[in-house]
């Protein structure tokens, strides 16, 4: 059974950074892309970027280049995303997802709520 377990909610100050994690089990971690998706309150879904755990290759939505950094720890089957220079616009739920051979977002984590507030 595929499971993507994300780190808990974070309350952070404007200007700070936040790093969140996504631990994958029951799935071949190094075989498929891991993507991150943003959902602002009551809004739709935005793709941030993706990383391939096998070689660390990344692709980004231009909107999030320089804003988000994606890394992986293959030994721990865990992907990470760091979001920097936080503003209120970054308050959102962030989901990690994994692709399959046929679709980009086959499996989803439960989400990490990030609240940016002073």
10: which strand partners?
114
User: Would you count residue 58 as binding another protein (CB under 8 A)?
Assistant: no
User: Would you count residue 103 as binding another protein (CB under 8 A)?
Assistant: yes
Candidate residues 81, 83, 95, 116; the one interacting with another protein per rule CB under 8 A: 95
Question: Which residue's CB is nearer to another protein, number 44 or number 118?
Answer: 44
For residue 38, give the nearest of 101, 99, 83 by alpha carbon: 83
Count of other CB atoms within 10 angstroms of residue 117: 10
Q: Sign of the CA dihedral 69, 53, 39, 65?
A: positive
* First CA to last CA distance, the chain: 40
Candidate residues 41, 87, 89, 102; the one interacting with another protein per rule CB under 8 A: 102
Candidate residues 13, 19, 63, 74; the one interacting with another protein per rule CB under 8 A: 63
Judged by the rule CB under 8 A, the positions of this chain that interact with another protein are 35, 44-47, 59, 61-63, 95, 102-111
């Amino acid at each position: 059974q595929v499971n993507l377990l994300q780190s808990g909610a974070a309350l952070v100050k404007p200007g700070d950074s936040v790093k969140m994690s996504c631990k994958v089990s029951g799935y071949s971690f190094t075989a498929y892309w891991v993507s991150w998706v943003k959902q602002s309150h009551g809004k739709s879904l935005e793709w941030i970027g993706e990383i391939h755990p096998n070689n660390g290759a990344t692709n980004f939505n231009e909107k999030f280049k320089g804003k988000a950094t994606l890394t992986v720890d293959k030994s721990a089957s865990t992907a990470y995303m760091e979001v920097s220079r936080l503003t209120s616009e970054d308050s959102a739920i962030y989901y990690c997802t994994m692709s399959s051979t046929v679709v980009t977002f086959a499996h989803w984590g439960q989400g990490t709520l990030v609240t940016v507030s002073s």
